[in-house]
A and B are shown apart, each in its own frame.
Chain A
Amino acid sequence: MSATVVMPQLGETVAEGKILTWFKSVGDEIREGENLFEVETDKVTIDVQAVVSGRLSEIRVGAGSVAKVGDVVAVVGSAIADRVAATNMTKLSAEREAFEEVSTPIDKFGPAKGPNGVRVTPLARRLIAQAGLDLNRLAQEARQRGSNRIAKADVRAATRASPSTPAPPQDSQKSGEVIVLNAVRLKTGERLAENWRNIPHVFQAIEVDFTAIDRVRRKYKDAFQQAHGFSLTYLPFIARAACLALEAFPNVNARFDGKALTLSPETHLGIAVDLSHNGLVAPVVRDAGDLALVGLAKAMRRQIEKARAGKLTPDDLAGGTYSISNNGAFGTSFTAPIINAPQVAILSADAIRLKPAVVSTSEGDFLAPRMMGMIGQSFDHRAFDGAYSAAFLSRLKQILEDRDWGDELDG
């Protein structure tokens, strides 16, 4: 039998992927588990493995082309299937049923006639749609040169005339260096812009005293490093506290589709990771709410390492219910992050450093050097209101400051 190779689900909000490279050619024998093609999504570049063995009999989506999730990109057939296929007169691909009629969807790619009666060939219609060109302009140009037809050559010429990368503004900085964004950066930007446009963001921040956590960190620093091979930072504490706070504020741990808020029974935590200024990914720590501090620290560490090594798979990026963005490394006070739809909120952590703070004791108020930091949250105002978010942040602050963290580290 033969099997189709489809564009895999590349993360829940990813609809399509661009095939960068085929590692195999038509006619090659492939084995299950071997890398078949490389695909680029708006988040990552990953290798897709063959799930069956056989001969690669057909590549339908070539390198450089985009396929929707679930689209057939290739066909893998056994020798027997190939022979069967060869005896069937009209069989283009092995998966077609014997009695299946082919019907070409007629209105798939825009009209056959342009605005001023100019005819557009089927191929030109497809190319115009795929390149996102303006049919009206092409029709005008056709009329100007005395033609009543738009064909492949006209679309190609128009594509060459308006390249997809816009030229830098000429008037202001003629001599400035042009930085062409890489694909991950470009796609990240598109997603961010879309979320920024569509979601009414509100940002709130609360100041947290991390002195108690700092003490615990110092105490367990060496033992933790020895036991686990990496140092214990503030981030796992914040993540753990967030998970605990989310239990009390379920509307924050939810998905919003524009009409309804769906509460998530589990907490899958997305951790925003900067790829050395070359893009941003948010690998997900699954069931983060079930993990205690050490387990969570290890799981987060694993995902961050994977992201930096460029080894994330679509599964690593799918299904986040809440996200954390950590920007503390450069000493910033607070950051208003962009929400990763369909999530409804994102937490930001910034620098934690010694600051003069007022400490209230039974013997009066004192000014003392304390480890202070801002914890901020951007939330979707359609999903809930400022008071709910503020109550969540307040709860988070309370957990961070008052919880017996040593208890979690003693085990």
Chain B
Amino acid sequence: MAELTYREAVAHGIAQEMERDDRVVFLGEDVGKAGGVFKATVGLYEKFGSLRVRDTPISEQAILGAAMGAAMTGLRPIAEIMFADFVAVCFDYIANEMSKLRYMSNGQLSCPLVIRTGNGGGVRFGAQHSQSVENWTMMIPGVKVVAPSSPIDVVGLMAAAVRDPDPVIFHEHKALYATKGEVPDGEIVDTLGTAKILRSGSDCTIAALALMAPRALEAADILARDHSINAEVIDVRSLVPLDTKTILGSVAKTGRLFTVEENPRLCGWGAEIASIVADEAFWDLDGPIVRITTPHIPLPAADHLEDLALPSAARIVDKVRRVLNG
């Protein structure tokens, strides 16, 4: 058992898979010699060499095009898109190419690759480098989407993503890179499409992911301590596939659902979950579903404005308390 930071867990997870399988290669901008701009891939170049850990030109299309070709011809590439905002630059590869390959070739071709990307805000990078874009990717039929919130989940879900036979978008959260958590020794392999109940409760369900998961957990502790509200916190972790069973099961127990998402409000993933719960658990609902989101605005770079925009533990506490007691 070792305590790792979230960023160390990224390198640890990639290394675990590269050691296991020679076909796993890793490419991206400054990921090799520099160890990544977020220092999340330090040591991989030294350990696995320049053939398997490759620095690329500054071209997201080149990165994904190369990764897709490698995947189609037998390798298991992990490609880094440095800032999640930049998936817009290479969106054609994601939305039209790799996600449709298996279907359009009638299963003759597949594209087993992982796109890891630094997602989310809270680190003062401004409107073009702070967006939370998991909703951009979850809307595409043909890709899977995960967004871990802890070091152990980073390692386990990375392994699951690399071993999956189809494209998986792996959203790391930039504001979580410095957070720490226990990671057991030995191989860790998690399962895509599974949510985690971080805290058991009976009064309401709070569904969150990535940076919002620890914030929801903190809020739940305050709600229990100061307001006698016992919230169940679910880390959704995987948007595609989505673990509806865990979410619906929790709502059946608590009768109330709050989603906490960093996505801007329109078409955030919480809307999809709210829709599913309204469809399938209507008769379990003891009140309206409440979404707690970033407003539908470009994210400000100024400290206090960015903090105001993203859902905070205090905002979650306030919203849940007012809705449940009001």
Contact = CB atoms under 8 A, between A and B. Distances in A.
A associates with B: yes
Interface in A95-126: 102-104, 108-109, 121-126
Nearest to B166: A87
Contact of A108 (B242, B278, B283, B287): B283
Interface in A296-343: none
User: Which of B255, B283, B284: most chain A CB closer than 10 A?
Assistant: B283
A103 B283 CA distance: 12
Contacts of A121: 255, 285-287
Contacts of A152: 255, 286
A123 B193 contact: no
Contacts of A104: 278-280, 282-283
B241 A88 contact: yes
Nearest to A153: B286
Interface string A126-146: 100000000000000000000
Contacts of B88: none
Interface residues of A, number: 21
A91 interface: yes
B212 interface: no
A92 B284 contact: no
Contacts of A86: 191-194, 241, 243
B259 to A, nearest CB: 16
A92 B283 contact: no
B191 to A, nearest CB: 8
Contacts of B241: 86-89
Nearest to B238: A86
B64 interface: no
A124 B194 CA distance: 30
A14 interface: no
Nearest to B192: A86
A90 interface: yes
A72 interface: no
Contacts of B282: 104, 122
A151 B280 contact: no
A124 B285 CA distance: 8
A90 B248 CA distance: 11
Contact of B279 (A87, A102, A108, A124): A102
Nearest to A58: B245
B240 A122 contact: no
Contact of B283 (A89, A90, A123): A123
14 contacts: A86-B193, A86-B241, A87-B241, A90-B244, A92-B248, A92-B280, A103-B279, A104-B278, A108-B283, A109-B283, A121-B286, A122-B282, A123-B285, A126-B283
